[in-house]
Structures are given as C-alpha cells and as structure tokens.
Structure 1
Amino acid sequence: MTHAAKASQHMGNADDIIPRDIRFGILDNAQRHWLEDDLIKTILIDGLSIFLPEGERFFIRSLKHYGPKLQDRELAAEINGYSVQEAYHTREHEDYNRALVKLGYDVEKMEKPIRQGFEIVKNPLHRLSITCAIEHMTATLSSLTLRHPELLEKAAPAYRRLWMWHALEELEHKAVALDVLNAATPGMSRWTRYWVRVLGMNGTLFPFLALFLRNVPIYARTDGVKTGFRFWGRFFWVTMVAPGYWRRCLPSVLRYYVPGFDPRNSDDQELMRKGREWLANNLPPAPTSSSARPSA
C-alpha cells in the first residue's frame, strides 16, 4: 500500500468514528524516560497507560449493555465503532504495559487497585455515569495533546505516534457515552440526569487522582528515585506551572459540572482534521496490521 493510500485510510469525515488497526511496537521499543529524558514528564503519561486496559474494557461493557435497548440505531452503530476503537486501544496499552514490566516497573502492583475499583461497580447506570466522566477526562487530555503537539515533540517516535493516535480517536468518540446516557434515561428529569452525571465525575476524579499519586512512588522507586520534598516540588511545577499539564486541563474538567454540558459545544473539528493529517504523515514505517478486529 502506498503512503498516500495509507493516509486516506485514516482520514474520514469530520464526524466519523474510525477504528484504526495500527500496531505501534512499544514492547519492541521499550524505553525509560522516553519524553525529554525526564522521569516526571514520562511518568505523567506512562501512569495513564496503567489505567487504560482495565478502563477501556469497562467502557466497552458499560456502553454495550445499552446498545440493544436503544431506539436510535445510529447511536447503536456509534457504540460499535466506539467499542472497536477502544478494543484496539486496549490491545496497544496492554503491549505498552508489558513494555513497562520489561523495564522493571511493578505494573501489577500499580494496576491491582484500579482493577478492583472497576470490579466493584455493578449497577449499569453507575458504570455508564463513570464512563461518561472518564471519557470527558480523556477527551480533555486528548484536546491538549492535539492542540499542543509540541508537548510531545521530543518524545521517542513510537510513543509519540501512539499517544497522538489515541488522542485523535478519543476526540472522535467523545460524545458517544453522554449520548447513550441521555438516550438510556428518557424518563429521567433533566436535573436528576445532571446529578447522575456529576456524581459519576466526583466518584471518578478523586479516586483517579488518589490512585495516580499512589503509583508515582512505586514507579519512581524502580529508577532509584526517592520521592521526597524536592521530587514532589518539581512534580507540582510540571503539572501545575510549566508546562502545567494538569493546570491546562482544569478549565475543561470543570465545564463538566455546568448544567447542560454538551461535549459538542467544544468544536474540535479542525483539531481532529489536523490530527488525522499528522497521523497520516507519521505512520510507522512498516505497520503490522490485521484485518481481524480484536474482541470488544
């Protein structure tokens, strides 16, 4: 396949949810401190991958529970596209996490409470509200990644391609979970649905931060780094000052608490177009792709 053909395969229309079966080979290119040779900048991103395989399986189950019950068949079809995208994400981040194990990081210890946290959520509506919250958080991080590609400019190539791909696809399906919540609760009042959504975010955001910060010393210990006052001071500087990853995300996260919030009110069409162009021009030199879709 020519490069032009590969490029067109990954473009699509503005509103398309496009499952892209791309293998990034992180396990074969495992690297410590792959972002600017900086432990803290790298852990802020590696730490996200620890959450993702269990999280993405949770999201798929949450939405697929409602698919057959929906009258809106177009939305049901979007759930299928969403699920295939997330299944590919799961596959790549399982590979990513195996690369972390290969480098000596205790992924099982970091992942175990995350897995247990998802397992205790049994109620379908609670699962859906948590999925809506996490999808907004990932869309927020994805928008930052695509709006400021310079943040990953000095990243190792395989890692940069994976996170740019993941960011693009998160924006493509950013509205699906909330659409399902709205469609699945037609008899629920607007304010009751609002509180379901907000409580889902409260039950997600604070445990996420607690688990993430718990995992930071476990990760740093592998590199022989002590997480004392100096370490946490720089951690605060990187997250909240310069480059300020979390500070930049905070306004978008808080918008989720506004009554009537709709992810479509943030027009990311141009951002997705640029993301698709970037991906088409920066595909791995010899991607290994299979026609068989992973189990969703």
Structure 2
Amino acid sequence: MSITHTDIIPRDIHFGISTHSKRHWFDGDLQKTAIVDCFSIALPEGERFFIRSLNHYADRVSDKELGAEIKGYAVQEAFHTREHVDYNKSLAALGYDVDTMEKNVCGPLRKMKNPLIRLAVTCAIEHFTATFSFATLRNPALFEGADMRYRRLWVWHALEELEHMAVAIDVFNDATRGMPAWKRYLLRTGAANGVAVHFSVNCFRNISIYCRADGEKTGVRFWSRLMWLLLVKPGFMRLSLFAFLKYYLPGYDPAKERDEKLIETWREWVARETDGLLVKPEQAT
C-alpha cells in the first residue's frame, strides 16, 4: 500500500452555497451549469452509501493502516455530504426539482443490500469521481468563467477525492483476498459497467429536467451543443475517458495513479483560497 491515513486530510470547510446561490454560475451558461449541478445532486446520497459500504469492513480488514484510512475517508466524505446537501438546497430554492433528480440517480443505491456488491459499486463510483477530479485539476481552464465560490468547492472536492482514491479498491482487494482473480475482476468491472450505464442514462434525464425548469427546450440543437461541451470543448467527458478506461485493466491499482505533485499544488491552492472558510480544530464544537 503506497498511501497512509496521513495522506488523507479532512478539511472542515463551509462554502455557504445556499446563502450565495446563483443561476448559471458557470460562465453564464445554462448547459455547463446543468452538467455540474446535476453531478452535485447525486453526491449526498452517494457519499452516505460509500461511507456505509466501507465502514462495514472497517473492523474486518487485515491491515490496521487500511482501517485508519477508512476513518479518514469517512470524515472527508461526511464533509462532502454536508456541503453538497447545502448546495442541493440552493438548487431546490432556485426552483429545480432536486427530489425527482436525486431519486432518478440514487434510487438503486437504496435497494442494494449485499455488502460485497455495495463495495464493488462504491469502487466503481469512486473511480468515476476520481477521473472527473483528475480532469478538473489537470485542466484548470475547465472551470474558466465559473463563479469562484462554486469553483472553490469543486476544486476542494476534487483534491480530496484524489487523496483517498485508492481506499475503496484496497478494501475491496482485502475483502476478496480469497476469491479467484478472474472472479474478482468480473465483479469489479461488472459493477463499473452497471454504474456507467445507469449514471449516463440518468445524467441526461436529469439535465433535461433541470433545463426545463429554466424554460429551455431540449431538442436536437440543445443535445448537439451538450455533446459538444462533453466531448469537444471544454470536453468534460473527453478529458476523463482515458483515465476511466484504465479501470478495466487487470490488476488496476489507483494508488499507482496518484500524482503527488498535482495533489501538493492543489493542496496549496485550497489552503490559500479557503483560509477564511476553514473551521480550525479549536473552533470545532
């Protein structure tokens, strides 16, 4: 294992999105804003799911260091949950149907009971989130024109996703250590296939619901431009695709994908940009 729990740094930062909510905060562009806002809608329920999935194994893992990593992971995800609950409240206050959109994307998570399936799905979603995080931090121009309050939140979230990106897979590998390699591979990649299809279908469904709330008609022109934004410029999906496909390599190890220089650069940026928003330990109650 190439990371330790000290590499996972929970930052108790209050971004206050609900008190500074803004339509079309991303370059004044409805579609760009919709792509990112619809990602936020899935996060609170998803992150609670991740925490439960890993905590189930916290006392079962064979490595004490991994147990400590799970704890750091859970604290980071709890802060993410809190901030995205606040974010989603701002969307509801602006008139977006958050409840329907959340149900579309998160409904199946609530029905999943098998701990190992839940863990495999957690690994897949964590990888998906990590690829978005790499795209965000390696391509700063991606968020050019974004309102700074929102940009700070997404950069903070991306940074912490990269800090803990190997934890779920490490827990999965530990939990399946007695399983044949081929079976472990099929379980891991099968979950990724399901997540990719479900998330893609419901992402487009939710973008349609979101934009209709702003009176935008979702015809051919709308979807053509949306695909341009995703695949060409700025290329949200294009910039993430190669990293996503690495998950299908046998023996994929996200710890080997960590970019320490990138992480350190953005740690400094987040510390500088959120200094007044960070809750210091002595201020915590």
- What are the within-5 Å matches in structure 2 for residues 1-296 of structure 1? 16-283=7-274, 285-287=276-278, 291-292=284-285
Is the CA contact 2:5–2:65 (under 8 Å) kept in the aligned structure 1?
Answer: no
Is the CA contact 1:143–1:167 (under 8 Å) kept in the aligned structure 2?
Answer: yes
Is the CA contact 2:14–2:277 (under 8 Å) kept in the aligned structure 1?
Answer: no
Moved more, 170-179 or 256-265: 256-265
Moved more, 278-287 or 143-152: 278-287
Going from structure 1 to structure 2, the CA distance change for 1:253 and 1:286 (only over 3 Å counts) comes to closer
Is the CA contact 1:14–1:269 (under 8 Å) kept in the aligned structure 2?
Answer: no
Moved more, 30-39 or 113-122: 113-122
Look up the equivalent residue of 1:66 and give its one-letter code: Y
Quote the offset at 1:120 in angstroms. Answer: 1.5
TM-score (norm 1): 0.91
Structure 1's unaligned 5+ residue stretches are 1-12
Quote the offset at 1:283 in angstroms. Answer: 1.2
Going from structure 1 to structure 2, the CA distance change for 1:205 and 1:46 (only over 3 Å counts) comes to same
1:242-286 deviation per Cα after TM superposition (whole angstroms, max 9, x unaligned): 111101111111111111111122231111001101111211645
Give me the whole-angstrom Cα distance separating, in 1, the residues matched to 2:61 and 2:259: 27
TM-score (norm 2): 0.95
Is the CA contact 2:18–2:86 (under 8 Å) kept in the aligned structure 1?
Answer: yes
Quote the offset at 1:185 in angstroms. Answer: 1.4
Quote the offset at 1:121 in angstroms. Answer: 1.0
2:96 is paired with a residue whose SS is coil
Give me the whole-angstrom Cα distance separating, in 2, the residues matched to 1:288 and 1:64: 25
Quote the offset at 1:153 in angstroms. Answer: 3.1
Give me the whole-angstrom Cα distance separating, in 2, the residues matched to 1:38 and 1:288: 32
2:179 is paired with a residue whose SS is coil
Going from structure 1 to structure 2, the CA distance change for 1:197 and 1:286 (only over 3 Å counts) comes to closer
Give me the whole-angstrom Cα distance separating, in 2, the residues matched to 1:264 and 1:69: 21
**Who is 1:9 aligned against?**
none
1:64-94 deviation per Cα after TM superposition (whole angstroms, max 9, x unaligned): 0001111211100100000000000000000
Moved more, 172-181 or 151-160: 151-160
What's the % identity of the aligned pairs? 54
Give me the whole-angstrom Cα distance separating, in 2, the residues matched to 1:288 and 1:184: 35
Could you say what the CA RMSD is over the residues aligned between the two structures, in angstroms?
1.5
Give me the whole-angstrom Cα distance separating, in 2, the residues matched to 1:111 and 1:276: 30
Is the CA contact 1:54–1:114 (under 8 Å) kept in the aligned structure 2?
Answer: no
Look up the equivalent residue of 2:98 and give its one-letter code: V
Going from structure 1 to structure 2, the CA distance change for 1:94 and 1:122 (only over 3 Å counts) comes to same
Is the CA contact 1:47–1:212 (under 8 Å) kept in the aligned structure 2?
Answer: yes
Quote the offset at 1:113 in angstroms. Answer: 2.6
1:91-139 deviation per Cα after TM superposition (whole angstroms, max 9, x unaligned): 0000000000111101011111333210111100000000000110111
Quote the offset at 1:288 in angstroms. Answer: 5.4
